[in-house]
Homo-oligomer: A and B are copies of this chain.
Amino acid sequence: MRQIKHPAIEQVELTDIMYALSDPTRLEIVARLAKAGRKMTCGEFDLNRPKSSMSHHFKILRSAGLVETLIEGTEHMNTLRVAEIEQKFPGVLQSILKSLTQA
């Protein structure tokens, strides 16, 4: 079962994370992943966009180190890399997520 490559947390730059979260669609994806607190398939996000666009955004979220995608059968299960990011950039993701849920 082939898996997708992800950057090691050491290579993740803060600017990558900022960039990934500067897009409303991607911010929404991250918000939903956080709220759900479980792994979600790409298709579960009903953001009214073609799958090629969604795939593009997930690719950026992965390369920014924010999302981990595990292939299970035909589905791609996505989770937030909260613990690792919290370790490397304490408070950053947490405070962003908190701001999102209150807005």
Contacts and interface: CB of A to CB of B under 8 A. Distances in A.
B15 A23 contact: yes
Contacts of A90: 95, 98-99
Nearest to A100: B14
A96 B21 contact: no
Contacts of A15: 21-24, 27
Interface string A50-90: 00000000000000000000000000000000000000111
A9 interface: no
Interface in A13-39: 14-15, 18-19, 21-24, 27
A98 B90 CA distance: 8
Given A22-B22, A92-B99, 6 more contacts: A14-B96, A14-B100, A15-B22, A18-B22, A90-B99, A91-B95
